[in-house]
Amino acid sequence: MDKQQTTQIVIGEKTALGIEFGSTRIKAVLIGEDHAPLASGGHDWENRLEDGIWTYRLEEVWLGLQNSFRGLADEVRSRYGVTLDRVGAIGVSAMMHGYLAFDGEGRQLVPFRTWRNTITEQAASLLTEKFRFNIPQRWNIAHLYQAMLNGENHIGDIAFLTTLAGYVHWKLTGEKVLGVGDASGVFPIDGESNSYNARMKDQFDALAADRKLGWTLADILPDVLSAGEKAGTLSEEGAKLLDPTGRLKAGIPLCPPEGDAGTGMVATNSVGERTGNVSAGTSVFAMIVLEKELSRVYTEIDMVATPSGKPVAMVHCNNCTSDLDAWMRLFKESTEAFGLEIDKTTLYDVLYRKALEGDADGGGLVSYNYYSGEPITGFEEGRPLLARAPDSRFTLANLMRTILFSAMSTLKIGMDILTEKEHVRLDQLLGHGGLFKTEGVGQRLMAAVLGAPVSVMESAGEGGAWGIALLAAYMLQKQEGESLEAYLAQKVFDKNPSARVDPKAEDMRGFAVFMERYRRGLAVERAAVEHLR
């Protein structure tokens, strides 16, 4: 498509804008009617530990959103010579889970408690037992019940409880809604109604009744919408929040806000049964679309939903690349001490590839990437840790292989439940996220870790921002009765190439040895948590 044609698409509002709030980057992507990215903008941000709570400040949400949109609009102006004052549709996505509570005047009651916090063990355990359904510590309902158990003063003032995506969507449109995928990380979803489970809602309200709070869950939770439904329009106030220059016009339709798990499924065409994807960034999680419900409750497995409501088994680990990135910063500092300037991409590419030169098992090294707690292995706190025996082969290649293996090991523990105990079958597993950016390295090692082929699509590099843009486009362009699965398969991914890597026997044998060492060494990590303050 030439520049003139693209310009006409932008002017003709045949576009969709996707915005995603990731854990380290906020990104905006504009796509055309062929679903290919036309322009993008971004803003880096970081969560912070304040008073023992991992959080982001809401003013940072709006600063990052505005910077991302401004960067995208500047790119549209530079590339196509037009001012971006309208788009066809908008979608908002963000990290799933967390706790954002507001009073009747819209005032935030407590700092945003993100998915990274592991402070709700008591509540999560009690609710899991009560509902006979696994409630992870990250979920909004676990945070709410823990605040009730703690006797926190703000509980009686809650008028609205939502996620980060739901909060931004609310401010842009005035609508208090969530997509079913994001909602499935707030409270359990009934697969028949694609809304909150009525039995469990009644059970929770009964638990809260003696506190005389003045509200029920129906009063404070967002309404639930499925992919393809309209979720309001950009208000005058919302347009100014998104674009303070005043150029962007109100009235643009928005699709239901979604979580990063759902947009990751969309961005990798993993929304049909027996498909799955692995998202590997600050956290790592695998999403497997099931043919049937699991036989029993596993505290290591979250049951969530695709944006169209299909049941999904989710293995979520709080820690993935944070420790890896810390090592890379150290290596960069080392090169700078010698007066060498190496750009970030080159540094990562060279050192990632070095891992393929290491011993298959990492040479006797073991590493734990636990910056925060890790529920799958029973840790409420974490300590990044590298350990080795005197006769370990401590080389750069083995160090890099060990650090990369460490980023994937907890995921392996959860995935074994699905493959070995529940005999879940997969036709395809797609990878996306920062761990897969260096071609062939993270992909090859992940295939060995999971014992299954892993594919990476060229388009998946745009990540969840592209995924939520696709959901906005689906709302705008779908035909009557056209499912999300059919739309993606036939109109988006029909010509989208992917590179597949099958697991190598030597890598699998090496990782098995590493994993045995990793499991034994968890006692060392536990001692580190206890004694290193």
Quick check: is 201 in a domain?
yes
Q: What is the mean pLDDT of residues 276-283?
A: 89
Three-class SS of 399-418: HHHHHHHHHHHHHHHHHHHH
Q: Specify if 214 maps to a domain.
A: yes
Q: Is residue 505 part of a domain?
A: no
What CATH number should be reported for the domain holding residue 204? Answer: 3.30.420.40
Domain membership of residue 77 (yes or no) is no
- Residue 79: CB atoms within 10 Å: 14
- 8 Å CB contact between 294 and 303: yes
User: Residue 462: what pLDDT?
Assistant: 60
Going through 396-516 in order, the beta strands assigned E by DSSP cover 428-432, 454-457, 498-501
Q: What does pLDDT average to over the chain?
A: 94
48-103: pLDDT as tens digits? 999 999 999 999 999 999 999 999 999 999 999 999 999 999 999 999 988 999 99
Per the domain annotation, does 149 fall within a domain? yes
Using CA atoms, how far apart are residues 28 and 307, in angstroms rounded to an integer? Answer: 20
Please report whether residue 453 resides in a domain.
Answer: no
Residue 109, in any domain of the structure: yes
457 pLDDT band (50/70/90 cuts)? confident
> Does residue 176 contact residue 162 with C-beta atoms inside 8 Å?
yes
Res 200: pLDDT: 97
Exposed e or buried b for every residue in 334-369, given b needs 16+ CB within 10 A? eeeeeeeeeeeeeebeebbebbeebbbbbbbbbbbb
- List, in sequence order, the alpha helices (H) in 52-161: 58-80, 121-131, 140-150
Of 218, 242, 233, residue with least CA distance to 30: 242
DSSP 8-state class, residue 490 = I
Q: What is the pLDDT of residue 497?
A: 74
State how far the Cα of 390 lies from the Cα of 364, in Å rounded to an integer.
10
Question: Domain span at residue 107?
Answer: 97-162+187-220
- A 10 A CB-CB count for 389 gives 11
Q: How far apart are the first and last CA of the chain?
A: 58
Question: For residue 500, what are its two tokens?
Answer: 């597949």
Total number of domains in the chain: 1
198, 279 contact by CB (below 8 A):
no
DSSP 301-342: -EEEE-TT--EEEEEEES-SSHHHHHHHHHHHHHHHHTT---
Alpha-carbon distance 231 to 225, whole Å? 8
Using alpha carbons, select from 307, 304, 302 the residue that is nearest to residue 179.
Answer: 307
The model's pTM is 0.82
In a domain, 40, yes or no: no
Give the list of residues 6+ apart from residue 109 with CB closer than 8 angstroms, or none.
101, 102, 103, 154, 157, 158
pLDDT digits (tens, 9 = 90+) for 312-368: 999 999 999 999 999 999 999 999 999 999 999 999 999 999 999 999 999 999 999
From the list 92, 270, 303, 103, the residue with the least C-alpha distance to 197 is 303
How many Å is the Cα radius of gyration of the chain? 23
